[in-house]
Amino acid sequence: MPGTKILKDNVVICGGSNNKEMARSVAGYLGKNVVEVDAGNFRDGETFIKLHENVNNKDVVIIQSMSKPVNESIMELVFTIATMKRNGASSVTAVIPYYAYARQERKVGPYRC
């Protein structure tokens, strides 16, 4: 398969809740496994991540878009990265196919100094 020779054996793919199908597709193309992760909310609305596999000494690639709901997607990505690092991942790389706040460099509305 193309691309598999450049990847180390210890690379694993993880998909955020809004990109699970894309993560499966990428992992299948690369001949890698998808790390199962569940994202949810506690009763008070705080986000939690539940990891179902061992990522100790693995290079983790997380695929997560910043689609609606944008702020929840960002928090899910942040907590997923933190969960992977706490569970011993050697490195964590975030692949963000759609980055929501990309247009924030433009001024919106009239500003007066």
Q: How is the chain split into domains, by residue range?
A: 11-98
d(CA 4, CA 47): 34
DSSP reduced 3-state for 104: coil
| CATH number of this structure's domain 11-98 | 3.40.50.2020
Tell me, what DSSP letter sits at residue 36?
Answer: P
pLDDT (0 to 100) of residue 7: 61
User: What is the rounded average pLDDT for all residues in the chain?
Assistant: 83
pLDDT (0 to 100) of residue 102: 66
pLDDT (0 to 100) of residue 4: 47
Tokens of 76: 């899910």
Residues with pLDDT less than 70, the chain: 1-7, 101-113
pLDDT (0 to 100) of residue 97: 82
pLDDT (0 to 100) of residue 90: 93
pLDDT (0 to 100) of residue 110: 66
Burial annotation 54-86 (CB, 10 A radius, 16+ → b, else e):
ebeebbbbbbbbbeeeeebbbebbebbbebbee
